[in-house]
Chain A
Amino acid sequence: MKKILVSFWFVTFLFSVEHLPAQSTEGDLLVGVWEPSHGKARVKVEKIADKYFGKIVWLREPNDPNTGQPKVDRNNPDESMRQAPLKGYRLLKDFTYSGKKEWGNGTIYDPENGNTYSCVIKARDENTLDIRGYVGVKTFGRTDVWQRVTIKK
């Protein structure tokens, strides 16, 4: 009887261990390197503290044409942070996976104007994302399509 009970708990444990990471694996579809439609940058999405973050890892024009130096976050509202480099800049922040290939509760930063917008991400497929930035309600926003740089087959 004891053996049966132990086996039961072992099977239950195995099931729960197998079941729990399944959610996070599905959410990890977002991890990778993505290119926005303008093609001027590439963004690497990684997972930190159970949330998803995307940082710029490649710029088509890495240097500021006026200074010849690497581009910095010159439009940041916080003047003390304007020396932060754009390469490595984390512009997608704090996304959590909400199921059905959608990530929410995050923000997207536009270095062109220094504004931060609420954002939702939806995967059309393994290699295509709809990135919707908005202010207030989702209806009033703009969607950009990002493509995975290294296509998953």
Chain B
Amino acid sequence: MLRISLLFVILSAALLACTGGGEKLSMETGKVVLLASGPLYEGSNTATVEWIPAPEAVSGKKITSARVSKIRLMGSGEYADLFSDITFSLAAPGADMRRVGVLNPVAVGDSIWELQVADEQKNIEDFFKGKPITLVADVNLKRDLEADLNLTAEVVFETENKK
């Protein structure tokens, strides 16, 4: 009985050592502007911006896991009835593109959009390897737009770093 208890304690300690060492942090992009150069036509269009995490947030740290916890997009009042749906993805040279958010349908009259964040987010930590991350917003337009499309984004990442 004592042996089993001892084994249980050792296994618990080992499990804690493996999982409990991470430092959890929140990382925000701040307000960044995604651009699609116009004129744009009805249907699917893509607005992008490159974002580089602040050096102090990533340098000297090994990010072992990451996920997107919040995606908010903002636009001018003239976009209030322009989009039928929005999807949001991340792209980077050293990582596979990941779709991390969607809003479908887009409510008429809004100019701030909170996207539903994907439950499954695989290998988001691959985006934090020192290269710029491209934020990608795919919007289906209900009508043509004779100008550039500017969308302000705020994205929040939750990361776990190895101490």
B99 contacts chain A at the CB level, 8 A cutoff: yes
A122 contacts chain B at the CB level, 8 A cutoff: no
The answer to whether B99 touches A81, judged by C-beta atoms less than 8 angstroms apart, is yes
Q: Mark A80-92, 1 if CB is under 8 A from B, else 0.
A: 1101110111100
Kindly state the interface size class of chain A when it binds its partner: 20 to 34
| Chain A hits for B50, CB < 8 A | 49
Q: Mark A36-50, 1 if CB is under 8 A from B, else 0.
A: 000000001010111
Closest to A62 in B: B43
State A87–B89 Cα separation when bound (angstroms): 15
Among B9-17, B56-64, B115-123, B150-158, the one that faces the other chain is: B115-123
B68 contacts chain A at the CB level, 8 A cutoff: no
A149 contacts chain B at the CB level, 8 A cutoff: no
The answer to whether A83 touches B104, judged by C-beta atoms less than 8 angstroms apart, is yes
List residues of B (110-163) whose CB comes within 8 Å of A's CBs. 116-120, 132, 134, 136, 138-140
B77 contacts chain A at the CB level, 8 A cutoff: no
Closest to A55 in B: B44
A99 contacts chain B at the CB level, 8 A cutoff: no
B102 contacts chain A at the CB level, 8 A cutoff: yes
The answer to whether A93 touches B96, judged by C-beta atoms less than 8 angstroms apart, is yes
Binding site for A on B (CB under 8 A): 43-44, 46, 48, 50, 84-85, 87, 89, 91-93, 96-97, 99, 102, 104, 116-120, 132, 134, 136, 138-140
- Please name 13 pairs of A and B residues whose Cβ atoms are closer than 8 Å in the assembled complex, sorted by A: A46-B46, A48-B97, A57-B43, A57-B44, A70-B84, A78-B118, A83-B102, A84-B87, A85-B85, A88-B43, A88-B87, A90-B89, A90-B97
- In the complex, given contacts A81-B118, A89-B87, A94-B97, what are 17 additional A-B residue pairs having Cβ atoms less than 8 angstroms apart? A48-B46, A48-B97, A49-B91, A49-B132, A55-B44, A55-B138, A56-B44, A80-B118, A83-B102, A83-B116, A84-B104, A88-B43, A88-B85, A90-B89, A90-B97, A90-B99, A90-B138
Binding site for B on A (CB under 8 A): 44, 46, 48-51, 53, 55-58, 70, 72, 77-81, 83-85, 87-90, 93-94, 107
